[in-house]
């Protein structure tokens, strides 16, 4: 690790392992670990997703039309992230 620094994620993972070893409830710690807010640099992608999410399945055509309508220059990796977010949203919402 850089300069002996331990990340919050590494620290929480170690605490969860210890709790499980001691047979203590680690559900609150696990929830904190897996519900960390995204980095500030990526928040705009979540905002774009919320603007776009209007139908069952997000399509490339919808993203392209939205980007054109709102004059948002969008890169291919951003489209991939938006499609991944839609897949995650549908799997959590509909269990598919």
Per-residue model confidence as pLDDT tens digits over 5-25: 667 777 666 766 665 666 656
**Residue span of the structural domain in which 22 resides:** 2-34
Instruction: Give 39 or 67, the one with higher predicted confidence.
Output: 67
Is the domain of 46 the same as that of 90? Answer: yes
Which token pair is 93? 């919402």
- Mean of the per-residue pLDDT values of the chain: 79
CB atoms within 10 A of CB 12: 17
Is the domain of 47 the same as that of 14? Answer: no
Is the domain of 6 the same as that of 48? Answer: no
Q: Are 16 and 33 in contact (CB under 8 A)?
A: yes
* CA separation for the pair 50, 43 (Å, rounded): 11
> Please, which pLDDT band fits residue 1 given cuts at 50, 70 and 90?
very low
Is the domain of 28 the same as that of 44? Answer: no
Is the domain of 22 the same as that of 49? Answer: no
Total domains present in the chain = 2
């Amino acid at each position: 690790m850089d300069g002996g620094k331990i990340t919050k994620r590494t620290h929480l993972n170690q605490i969860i392992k210890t709790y499980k070893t001691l047979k203590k409830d680690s559900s609150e710690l696990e929830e904190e670990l897996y519900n960390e807010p995204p980095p500030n640099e990526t928040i705009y992608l979540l905002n774009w997703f919320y603007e776009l999410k209007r139908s069952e399945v997000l399509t490339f055509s919808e993203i392209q039309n939205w980007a054109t309508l709102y004059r948002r220059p969008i890169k291919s990796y951003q489209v991939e992230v938006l499609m991944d977010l839609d897949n995650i949203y549908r799997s959590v919402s509909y269990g598919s």
